[in-house]
Each structure stands twice: as C-alpha cells, then as structure tokens.
A and B are shown apart, each in its own frame.
Chain A
Amino acid sequence: MRVDEAVYVATDKVGDPIGFNWRGIAYLVKTKPVRWFARREWWVEAARVQRGIGAGVVEVEMWRLQASPSIANPPGNGSGGQFELIKSADSNVWRLVRVWQ
C-alpha cells in the first residue's frame, strides 16, 4: 500500500529507528532496519541546483523496517508488517511511504 504521511520516529543513539507512531498506533522495530539511498530526479523537481545546495536534491535516505504494534497499544489494533520510510536530509522529519501489512 502506498501512503505518504508524516510519522514520528524514535531512534537509538546512532540514529537507527527503533519505533514509530502511525495513525495513533505505536510500532516497534523487530529486526535490524535496512537503510539505503535512492535517487531523485532533480531535473524534473528542483527549482535551483547551484553549487553547495547539497546532496538532498540528488538522493533521499530510505529505511525499510520490520515492525509490529507495541503491546502498549489496545489489543486488536494494527498489525505487523514491512514499512518503508523516507528520512528528510536536513531535519528529523520522517515520512511513511509504503506499507506491507
């Protein structure tokens, strides 16, 4: 399922996600998360690409998480699965973009 929603993500001390809140439900990351960098088509989207603008116009940081609802949630809400998130380059804002539940 494709989505595009801002989510709150909790990270450990090296910055790896350990859990997140989505649609009122807290999820916990179950296995080692996978990170990669995907590219962006700046020639289609960007307004300016001057020297020093940074790699943010070229690539985007992606995370794939295996996660399940935390036991703190009321039972019966949400289910586990695979989640893909984008972490924005300049701030700690995360967006959930794909979900396999």
Chain B
Amino acid sequence: MSNFVHLHVASAFSGHFGVTRPELLAEAALAQGSNALAITDRDGLYGAVKHIGACVKLGISPIVGVELVVIDESVSISNRVSHAERGRVVVLAHGSVAAGQPSARDQTGWAKLCRVVSAAQARRGNARGVSNKRENPVAIRANELAELLAEGGCTVLLTSDSDLGRAVTAADREAAESALTSWKKLLPQPGVLAVELVSHLTEPGSDRSSLQARRLLQLADRLGVPAVLTNAVRYLLPDDALTADVLDAARHLEPLGMFETQPNAQAWLKPPAAMEALAFEIADDGNRARLLLDTTAKLAERCRLDPVRDCDWGKPKTPEKAALGIEGNPFEMLWQKAQEGIEWRYGDLRGEQLAKVQHRLNQELITINKLGFATYFLTVADVAQMIRDMRIRIAARGSGAGSLVNYLLGISGVDPVEQDLLFERFLSTERTSLPDIDIDVESARRHDIYRAIFKRYGSDRVTLLSMQSTYRGRGAMRDSGLALGLEDDQIDQIAKNMWRFSASSFRGALESKPELAEFAEAVEADRRMNLLVDITERLDRLPRHISMHPCGVILGDSSLLHLTSVEPSGMGLPMSQFDKDDMDPMGFLKLDVLGVRMQSAMAYAVGEIERVHGKPLDLDRIPKDDPATFEAIRTTNTLGIFQIESPGQRELTGKHQPTEFNDLTIQISLFRPGPMKGNMIAPYLDGRQGFATPHYIHPDLKPILQETFGVVIFHEHVLRIFNVMTGCGLAKADELRRNLEQPRVAPLVQKFFREKAAERGYSKLVINEVWSILEGFGSFGFCKAHGAAFALPTYQSAWLKTHYPTEFMAGLFTHDPGMYPRRLLLAEARRLGVRILPIDVNRSSREYVVESAPKITSNPAERAIAVRLALNEIQGVSEAELDRIVGQQPFESINDFYYRAKPSRRTLERLALIGALDDLARASGDFNRGDILARVRQLNAIKPKSAAKSKIVIDEHQPMLDFEAFNAANMRARELEAMPSGSKPLSKEEQLRNELAITGLDFSEHQLEQYRPMLDAMGVVYSDELIDLRNKTEVLVAGVRVATQTPPMRSGKRVVFISLDDGHGCSDSTFFDEAQRRCSSVLFNTRLLIIAGKTRRTGIRGVSLEASNAWDLKELWRQWQAGKVTEFDSSSASA
C-alpha cells in the first residue's frame, strides 16, 4: 500500500502559482518511495519535459497532465457568444506502459494532451480584444474536449474548483448531481472521467475539507464515476506555502489581505502515509478508503509514460525530404552541395592547399553521415539560402563556425581552414544530440524571416521557441513589495539602488553595499521592510512568465504538433511551450535566428554607400587585412564597432593593439567572464608585448599555443593538447574537455591523460604541468570558432567606420545597435568630422539619410556629405504624424505644413523649438526661431469651430481640424502677412535645452560646452588629453555618463566602472571600495559628473582613471554661479 502516486502537482512552471521546480519534486517523490509522479501545470506543459527528464534520470515513471478551465460556449441566434464556466479540471495523458503497445503518433495520450492544451490556448488567442487572464482565461470548450477525447487517451479529473466541486461546497445537492451527470454525458467512455478528492484539512464543510471530499465521494459512488485521491500539490514543503501566498498576490495584482488567500499550508507533497491517513479520514470506512487508494493507483498505472514510445524522447527529428524539396539520398545531396561550395569559396585554390580542404571536407562528411545528420545540415542550409535570397545579411555564431560544411553551404561566413578552427568542437561521433547552429541576421528583418520559414515548411512543422523568464533582483523586490502593499514610490526608491546582486542574497547585500545603507536602516526599524527582504529572497529564480524566445525556431516533421503544445506568441505565430533546454531531450531541431542590430546597421550603411556613390559593395568580400582599419582600431576610438566598444574592450584595445584578424578573435574571446576569471589576459599580453618569454612546456605544444604566447585560452587548444599528448583523436578530445567540467568524471579524465601521455613518452614533469593547466581550465575557456564568428562583423564594422564614416554613422543612428545612447554616437560622429544636419520637416524621414551637403569651409578634410537627423527622435511624435509628414513632403511654408501635415499642437511647437521649421520660414523671408515660435503659437491658438461648439476638450495629441484647402501661392502670401518678425532669437543655451528635452540629442553643440567656463577654471582636462599625461597624475575629468558597469571580478569584490563622454571621446574611471563609499549618492544615478582621480597607464594606448571622488556637475555649477566655489578644493565640494 505504500506506493501512493501524486496525480495533481503544479510545479514552479505554473506561472505565479506553483513554487517548486520539477526536478526537486521528482527527487522528493523518489525519496518518499513512489515509483511515479505526475506534473500538471496550469494552462500548459511548461514543466513537462524537465519533469520527464528528472524522472528518467531517477528511474521513476513520469506522468504528465495539465490543469485547465473548461467552458461551455454557445452561440445564440443573435450571434452572441455566451460562456458558462465549468471550472477547473486536470487532464492526464494515458501512457503506453500499461497499454503494452505503442499507438500511432497522433493517437497517443501525449499527442491528445498536446492538442487539448493547444486548443485551449488558441481559443484564448482568438478571443480578440480581451487580454486579461481573468476575463479571458486559458480554457478549452467542453465540446472540443469531448471531441479530442472521443476515443480516450486522457483522463479528466473534476477538481474541487469545478462546477461539481463548487456545488458540493455550496451544499447544493441538486446542482452537484446535475453537474456530474452532465460531465458523464460529455465524456461517456469508460476511464475518461473521474472525480478528484482533495482534503487540505480545511474547516469542515468548506472548500477542500474532508467533509466536502466525503460528499463528493458519496455522489461519485452513487452515479458510478470513479474517484481518486490527490493533494492538489502546489509546493514541496509546508514552509513553501508562504512563497505561494506571495505568488498569489502577484497573480491577483493585489496586496495580501485584499483577496481570498489559500486556506492554509496543506498543499504540499505529502508522503504516502499521510495520504493514506487522508483517505481514511475522507472515506470514514476502511474498505472504501482502500478502494479509493486502489483506484488512484490504477489510474497512475494507466498514465505512466514511456518517454521514448509516448513522446519520441531523444530521437532527432527534421523536416521530411519532400518538405525540403529533396529527392533521393540526402547524404548524396549534401555531398554535391559541398562540392559546389568548394568551387564558390575556394575557386582559386590549387594543389596541396586544395587537397587539404578536400581532406577536411571528407572527414566532416564522414562524421555527418555516421550520425545521420545530412538532412539536418540541408535544412539549415535551406533556411540560410532562403534568407540570402531575401537579400538579408546573415552570419553564423557559435561553434558552428568551426565547420567547413557550414562555410561551404553558406551557413557561416568564416573560413575554418584559414582561421584554424576545429569541426570536432561542433560535432563529433561521441555525441549524438543535434548540434546547435546559430545564425545572426539583420534585426529589423527577423520577423520577416520567421514568417518566411513558416510559409516554406508549413505551420505543422514549425513553431517558435518560448523562454521562461525568472525572478531576479528588482522584479522579485517589486512583486514582494506589491504583496505587502508597499507604496509604489517606496518600492521604486529601493529598486533603483538594487544593482547587480541576486535577490537570494538580498540580506547579505544590505550589509555590504553602500548604496543600500539607507534601506538597511529602514529594515531594522520597520517590520514590513524586514518581511520584504525575506520574501524577495524566496522569489529569487522562480519562473516568472513565459515569452517568446528572442531567436529560436523549432523545425520538425509533420508530427511536431503531436509532440509539443503551442500557444500564440506576441507576434501571432504559434510558439511551443517548451524552452531551449527541452529541445535536446525532445529531439527537436532548434534553429537560433538571432536578430543583430549591427547587421541591420551595416546593411543600412552598405545601402547608403551604394546609393550615394552609385557603386555596389559586397561587405563579405572585402580584404581582411586592411592596415587603415587596424590603425583606426588601435586608436581605441572603437565606439560603434561590434563587440569591442565597451569601456573594458576599449581599455583592452589600448593594451592589445591588434594588427590582424586573428587578434580580433583573440581579443573578443579574452574579454569574457571565463577567460577573465581564469586570469588569461595578463599572461597573454605579457607574452605578446615581450615582457615575458612564452613558456610552451613542451616543444609539441608550441605549434598549438604559439598564437596566444603559451596561454591556453580556447577550447580548441585543449582539444589539440589532448590529441597530441594522448593520441586520442579530436572527437574523443572534445569529450574529454566536456568531462573536465564534471567533477564526478574529471578524475577519470586525469587517469586517462596521465596514462596515455606517459605511454607516449612525456615526462612526469611535463604531464604534471600540463594537467594542472587543463584542470584549472575548467569552464574558463572560450570556443575559438565563436570568437572568430564574432570577429567578422567586428572587422566589417571597423572597416565601414574607417572608410565610410558618414554612411556608417547613419546606419548606427538608424538601427542603434550598441550599448550607448544615441547622443554619444552624435559626439563620436562630431569627433570623426561627420557632418550632422538638424531635423528639418522637409528633409528628415524615419531614417538617418545621407545627404550631399555643400562644403561650408575650405578645409580639404571636410566631407561633401552629411547625416540628416530623423524625425522619430522627437519625443511624443505619433506614427500617424510621421506618416503624414513623410508622405506629404515637400512643404512650401509653415501654413502649408500646418494644413497638410496636421501636426498636433504639441508636435508643432516642438518642431519649431528644435529648428525643424527654420528652413521653411527662411523660404518666405528672414525670420528667426523666435518669430517662428510666435507664429506657431498663433496657429495653435486657432480654435476649431466644431470643437468650440460642442465644448469638447481638445486633446493635445489630436491633429487639428482640417481647414479648406489653400493653394500654395495663396498660403505663402498669407504666411508673409501673418509672420511676426523681430522676435527675440533663442539663446544658445535655450536651443540646447530644447534639443535635449525634445530629442535627447545635443545636436547644435556638445552639452558640456555650456559649463566650459567653470570646467576651465577648475582645470578639468579633456578625455583625449589623458593619454599624454604622466602615470599617476591627479586630474579632474567631466562629462555625460554613458556607461556604468560592475563586471565580475576575480577577487569577488565589487568594482564600478563609469565612462563619461566630454565630446572629445570617453574617459573611463574605476571606483574601488573606498571611492564607492565616498560618492555613493552619485554613483549610479547622476548624469553629469565631475570625477577626480589618478591616471593609470594600462598599455601603449591605454589609460584610465582610478577615481577618488565624484560630484554632481550641475550641483557644482549652481554653487560656482552663486560664487560659492571660486577655487576648487576637493574637500569642500563634497557630494
């Protein structure tokens, strides 16, 4: 009797309801002696794959179901749809274990469960306009449920929250009997319907009390419906009930106490003995209790899944040949395509070089054939070709760039032979799971690509991938604050200062983080703040909500929708309820099609180059050794260049001084958490700059490690070292590398390495030294193929910036790919001598267009082209207004613009304030911006007649009333008449303030310039002067904050990096503990700063500041203007 199986269990993947992760539940079930466990998440199969995986690992049987609302939907004669809620049921999939034989793919219980969930989700998606989950829940129509289960396949449990359960709680016998009778009629097949009994030991007679369960049992017996016992589990342990309370509050969006909470803390995974005791308490009759437990065990038996037979577990699935347009043998097709690729990629290669490529290709093809993955590669190649046919830029990322086949099929643009990349890191016979090929495309075209994929392969073979976001610091704090009913601004205040620590260490952070000091005091004084800390810690890492994965697409065969449940995504296309970790276990082919803004920016720049210069440019064919490009990179002015624009990468660029493509690969790979933690940067730089003699341990390792001066950085290095010293082959070497990271098997790797290396004659000393490096390598290294894949767009963007700065900046402005605000790009453009033209209603559009612009100086370096700022920078401008402005250009006069573009009052005034109407006005006469503003205010004062009559309050967002058309000449004449003149022009400061307020861009001049008198008086230096200063010079720098970073540090201590832009470039300052304490109030939130510090030379072109203090620049400015700070004294002007 001790084999009770829980059949109703919500995991943490029941968003804002369940508390415990599936893996923990399965472990607990095993520990309690159960041989099976169900997962029945709300509204989806979100945790199902993780549950099955955990059960397989533990050797117990997985059972999967879903908890869903059922509705009766009837359409009346007047076409009104009315709903009658039938309440919540659990639908459990039958398995093939008890049946003894497999069913057809679309007839398994699992397939039916998937269809039930998908149908419920689709119904909700189709009920337009009601997005509120409470008004429009995920629910399946009763008749649809009956149809899907017409031939069995699942068992429906009527929960205490069904119409039956509610009637029993209300002690309405008649309603209860009619509800159960109606369910029997709906689901007449034996084994498809059962009544669920739950006792949470609530007050007798109330919902989920033993008394209610007894009444349900009696009714079920009377009507001949089987009854089963569950505990409607929401959490693993009683202690977790408190977390469930907080999740309930987050779900209800109301503080605790404002809604009906769970009755007590009994919904935990009770051990079999406790469940048996409940059976006896409910039945109040030994025999009936035993029968109840027996029926429950029988249903559990019926629902045990065989993952392989029921879910096609682990078997790779790709689209059928016909769907790919392949006839004949896929491998032959692949071979043929690869040969064609050799013509394309290596057309001019001959002799030994060509033989080397051919040999490599043969090896890769043999592996692919052995694994039976030819169709997989053809599928990805087909998608890549489709993307290229759409004229969209595409690049590979990740280990896939190490494959020659990928290069030949056009999936990747990196030559793995030239870059010395290994195929085995990507794919080997030692692993049988489908490899990951990730491709980067232009972000602006990503959705077009998704739609094209659905169209090409059919919507029964394609779904989008989902992802579960989890509670982290601020989110956890906000929902905890909501649950406790704290004021919004109180929550905001605390959340603002939560910076880079996980919520689970909230209490620890209170003591160590200076910016939380104020809050720490509040915690001591205020009980609710104390609770806030505790429950925030409890929420940490729990799944929060499901959303569309930013780049994943699942490609399968026509059985895909029998294997995964789907729901509508934000963009309308169906999305699998499984996440990326579920792909491998389910054998799904996941293609990452990642939108990369830089690719869009580069595509835009290339388009502008071709348009302006009238000649084609193929960015993928530019030489990769352009000296001017590397010279430009070495200046460290890398803003806007892919991957190397962050403050840390800029500093590294200064030290590293790359001269060739492989240097970029290495630099990108070094600046990663792994290599940084593994302390690889300093020894590499020392070797490169000749400060230290490279140490290769053994001559055999020199060819492998020469490129990095003896430092092991890449996974590829480890593979080659294993291969050379043990002769194990590269495929096995990759297996060894993976096992290095697993503490349980690492000793076996060591044993193997030592034995084989000794056999091959390496000395004990060499073996010891090499092993100590491999052992320490752990997870620190980086895949070189990934670095090389990234280095390509890095080089391409640097090349564009060097040779076509105007067009490239236009691309950056339009697609905003980087980490910095647009106004910093503006400063960089200015620094590069790229000319910027202000917003003009006649010339600006939605994009930053390159215009030819007559030179205004005699400077030969001045370019005859310029970037025109785009209209959409104007805050608050609507899409409809943009359509009207761009669609009606050009305009003859302000009147003409007013009548045809119909801007809202606010937009019209804003356009005038930033000078977007200046040129229009100048066409009519010599008017200044003050005049234009006066005119615009006149126009805005005109009262639309009808509105005045009906006393409608005019919304300033609404376009003004359309007057009768005027002809242009007439309007020009009226304009001259109406135009005020002689107004006071706007001062420089006013212009700048307007620009910043309305567009966020200081396009007339850098905003720091207005403070120049004070900065000069204080002796503040420009950022580009720092490089010429002696090491450890005490200086002041000023600027606009452009980046704040707290990267992981080897010491574990927090270091804050702040970058300031002063129009001459960026200065980077480092704040250690003491400096952080001294200026904690300005550390994270003040925008304009003055920083005091010592220069720190970090390399040939590298310099940064070690900050000692920082102040709010505006505050100092006020004091300076008031005459308080006449001479700067670093002790007086404390922040």
Contact = CB atoms under 8 A, between A and B. Distances in A.
A49 interface: yes
A58 B531 contact: no
Interface string A67-98: 00000000000000000000000000000000
A53 B485 CA distance: 22
B537 A51 contact: yes
Given A43-B257, A43-B484, A62-B203, A37 B534 contact: no
The residue in A38, A49, A55, A62 that gathers the most chain B C-beta atoms within 10 A of its C-beta is A49
Interface in A7-37: 34-37
Contacts of B266: 37, 59
Interface in B993-1037: none
Interface string A34-47: 11111101111011
A64 B531 CA distance: 32
B238 A54 contact: yes
Given A34-B204, A50-B537, A43 B238 contact: no
B262 interface: yes
A48 interface: yes
Given A38-B203, A48-B534, A49-B535, A57 B242 contact: yes
Nearest to A36: B203
A43 B531 contact: yes
Contacts of B538: 49, 51
Given A50-B537, A51-B537, A58-B265, A42 B204 contact: no
Contacts of A44: 257
Contact of B264 (A37, A41, A43): A37
Interface of A: 34-39, 41-44, 46-55, 57-59, 62, 64
**A interface secondary structure, majority:** mixed
A92 B255 CA distance: 34
Given A37-B202, A39-B264, A59-B238, 13 more contacts: A36-B209, A37-B201, A38-B264, A43-B484, A43-B485, A49-B242, A49-B535, A50-B537, A51-B538, A55-B265, A58-B238, A59-B264, A59-B266
Nearest to A44: B257
Contact of A48 (B238, B483, B531): B531
16 contacts: A36-B202, A37-B263, A39-B265, A41-B257, A42-B242, A43-B528, A48-B530, A49-B242, A52-B239, A54-B238, A54-B239, A57-B242, A58-B241, A58-B245, A59-B264, A62-B203
B256 interface: yes
B621 interface: no
Nearest to A49: B534
A100 to B, nearest CB: 15
A55 B238 contact: yes
A1 to B, nearest CB: 19
Contacts of A50: 534, 537
A44 B203 CA distance: 22
A57 B202 CA distance: 16
A38 B1079 CA distance: 50
Interface in B243-280: 245, 255-257, 261-266
Contacts of A43: 245, 255-257, 483-485, 528, 531
B203 A39 contact: no
A76 B517 CA distance: 66
Given A36-B204, A38-B264, A46 B238 contact: no
A59 B241 contact: yes
A34 B200 CA distance: 14
Nearest to A89: B238
Contacts of B535: 49
B527 interface: yes
Nearest to A53: B239
Nearest to B206: A36
Contacts of A42: 242, 245, 531
B261 to A, nearest CB: 6
A99 B202 CA distance: 20
Interface in B216-256: 238-239, 241-242, 245, 255-256
Contacts of B245: 42-43, 58
The residue in A43, A62, A64 that gathers the most chain B C-beta atoms within 10 A of its C-beta is A43
A47 B484 CA distance: 13
Interface in B81-125: none
Contacts of A41: 256-257
Contacts of B528: 43
User: Which range contains the number of B residues in contact with the other chain?
Assistant: 20 to 34
Nearest to A39: B264
A47 B527 contact: yes
B684 to A, nearest CB: 43
A37 B452 CA distance: 57
Contacts of A34: 204
Contacts of A48: 530-531, 534
A50 B204 CA distance: 31
Contacts of A38: 202-203, 263-264
A58 B262 CA distance: 10
A3 B30 CA distance: 45
A41 B259 CA distance: 12
A38 B208 CA distance: 12
A58 B246 CA distance: 12
Interface in B849-868: none
B541 to A, nearest CB: 12
A55 B239 contact: yes
A49 B240 CA distance: 11
Given A48-B534, A50-B534, A59-B265, A36 B201 contact: yes
Contacts of A36: 201-204, 209, 264
Contact of B262 (A39, A46, A57, A64): A39
B543 to A, nearest CB: 18
The residue in A35, A48, A55, A64 that gathers the most chain B C-beta atoms within 10 A of its C-beta is A55
A41 B484 CA distance: 11
A42 B534 CA distance: 12
Interface string B463-498: 000000000000000000001110000000000000
A59 B257 CA distance: 15
B483 A51 contact: no
Contacts of B204: 34, 36, 64
Contacts of B256: 41, 43
A47 B238 contact: no
Given A43-B256, A43-B483, A59-B241, A37 B530 contact: no
Sort A-B residue pairs by CB-CB distance and give the 8 closest, nearest first. A55-B238, A37-B264, A59-B264, A55-B265, A58-B265, A59-B265, A50-B534, A49-B534
Contact of B242 (A37, A47, A58): A58
Given A51-B239, A54-B239, A59-B241, A46 B264 contact: no
A21 to B, nearest CB: 26
A39 B208 CA distance: 14
Contacts of A51: 239, 534, 537-538
Contact of A58 (B202, B264, B483): B264
A47 B604 CA distance: 59
A9 B535 CA distance: 36
B43 to A, nearest CB: 25
Interface string B984-996: 0000000000000
Nearest to B245: A58
B531 A46 contact: yes
Interface string B518-535: 000000000110110011
The residue in B263, B264, B483 that gathers the most chain A C-beta atoms within 10 A of its C-beta is B264
Nearest to B535: A49
A34 B199 CA distance: 13
A47 B530 contact: yes
The residue in B239, B255, B538 that gathers the most chain A C-beta atoms within 10 A of its C-beta is B239
A59 B528 CA distance: 19
Contacts of B238: 54-55, 58-59
A49 B201 contact: no
Contacts of B534: 48-51
Nearest to B199: A36
Interface in B760-803: none
